[in-house]
């Protein structure tokens, strides 16, 4: 089998080393050398060790950065500013794809973007995660908008007053009031009970 066969078989744009080897090993005597040539020609792009995307000439569509974020380092789930932007809660595009992980904090600067992972304990990690499916691309885990905002607030070290919190949300993050009103209070209350963070508790009062 060849790269053409792989392209026909893979509906998405991102795939792992084992899948690549399965398709090339039956077609060439030296699949690793073939992979090196494909990387050099730009027909394949290595995102990180063991993870690849098709080069532009072979792509059927855009690369899902959310799916990529889950695959690059895990267990992880997309959160913080990137998730808030995806939900339309903040207007400014998040340049870095931000995620939570139960592993060590890591940053990966890859050919398809920068992926940043912030460490959190398992109990906090597991609450408020949602699974999403992108047709043809696969699935990924993302924080609910309540959890994503709680994760942003949990980075603030000092205790904020209600007025300071409101200023931070409306002026610094530029979240409109309607977006705040759309938050599910029951979900937020559940998250607050696990996170035990004063800023998240004050968010409920707002």
pLDDT tens column, 125-164:
999 999 999 887 889 999 999 999 999 999 988 888 999 9
Read off the pTM. 0.90
- 13 with 91, same domain: the answer is no
Does residue 178 share a domain with residue 92?
yes
Distance of CA 142 to the CA centre of its chain: 7
CA separation for the pair 187, 90 (Å, rounded): 20
Predicted local confidence at residue 94, as pLDDT? 84
What domain range includes position 50?
A: 3-58
For residues 157 and 78, membership in a common domain is answered with yes
Residues 160 and 89 in one domain: yes
Same domain, 40 and 91: no
53 and 30 part of one domain: yes
- How do 14-16 and 51-54 pair as beta strands? antiparallel
> What average pLDDT does range 103-124 have in this prediction?
96
For residues 46 and 99, membership in a common domain is answered with: no
Same domain, 38 and 106: no
pLDDT at 10: 84
Residues of the chain above pLDDT 70, percent: 97
Q: Which residues pair with 134 in a beta bridge?
A: 138
If we measure between CA atoms, which residue out of 93, 97, 119 comes closest to residue 106?
Answer: 119
């Amino acid at each position: 089998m060849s790269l053409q066969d792989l392209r026909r078989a893979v509906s998405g744009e991102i795939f792992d080393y084992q899948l690549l080897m399965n398709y090339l090993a039956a077609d060439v005597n030296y699949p690793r050398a073939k992979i090196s040539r494909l990387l050099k020609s730009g027909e394949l792009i290595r995102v990180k060790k063991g993870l690849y995307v098709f080069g532009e000439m072979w792509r059927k569509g855009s690369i899902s950065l959310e799916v990529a974020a889950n695959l690059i380092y895990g267990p992880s789930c997309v959160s913080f500013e990137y998730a808030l932007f995806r939900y339309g809660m903040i207007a400014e595009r998040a340049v870095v794809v931000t995620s939570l992980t139960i592993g060590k904090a890591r940053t990966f600067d890859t050919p398809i973007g920068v992926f940043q992972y912030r460490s959190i304990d398992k109990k906090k990690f597991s609450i408020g995660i949602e699974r999403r499916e992108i047709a043809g691309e696969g699935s990924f885990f993302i924080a609910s908008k309540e959890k994503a905002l709680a994760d942003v607030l949990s980075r603030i070290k000092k205790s904020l007053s209600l007025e300071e919190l409101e200023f931070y949300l409306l002026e610094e993050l530029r979240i409109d009031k309607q977006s705040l009103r759309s938050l599910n209070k029951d979900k937020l209350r559940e998250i607050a009970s696990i996170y035990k963070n004063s800023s998240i508790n004050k968010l409920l009062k707002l």
